[in-house]
């Protein structure tokens, strides 16, 4: 009964579990945890589909970046990864001395 949305809902679900048959509760979609984990039809096995491993799985990304990727990451990081976002337009601001300036709308962080 972990899916109750309120105290009243919990009380009525609890009463339903105690006093109603499984078929009646199934019609109302009030099932206990053990009833939810059972197969949909008693006595019928779940079908298992074979899967081919490796053919549809994309290759793992490289863990060590190439020198060009590493240089690109350094260039992006040095542009102000810790820069605040512009209060006017939301674009990342660029460092201008001890302040920050927005390259899109020209707003500053209040220093100049």
pLDDT tens column, 7-59: 888 888 888 888 888 888 888 878 777 776 666 666 656 556 666 665 666 77
Instruction: Quote the pLDDT of residue 87.
Output: 81
What are the structure tokens assigned to 63, written together?
């863990």
Q: Which of 39, 15, 38 is nearest to 1 (CA)?
A: 15
Burial classification of residue 47, based on how many CB atoms lie within 10 Å of its CB (0-12 exposed, 13-18 middle, 19 or more buried)? exposed
């Amino acid at each position: 009964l972990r899916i109750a949305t309120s105290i009243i809902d919990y009380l009525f679900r609890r009463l339903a579990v105690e006093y109603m048959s499984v078929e009646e509760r199934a019609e109302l979609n009030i099932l206990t945890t053990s009833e939810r984990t059972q197969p949909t039809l008693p006595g019928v096995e779940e079908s298992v589909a074979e899967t081919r491993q490796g053919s549809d799985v994309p290759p793992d990304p490289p863990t060590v970046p190439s020198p060009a990727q590493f240089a690109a990451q350094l260039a992006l990081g040095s542009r102000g990864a810790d820069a605040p976002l512009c209060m006017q337009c939301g674009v990342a601001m660029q460092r201008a001395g001890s302040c920050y300036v927005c390259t899109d709308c020209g707003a500053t962080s209040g220093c100049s």
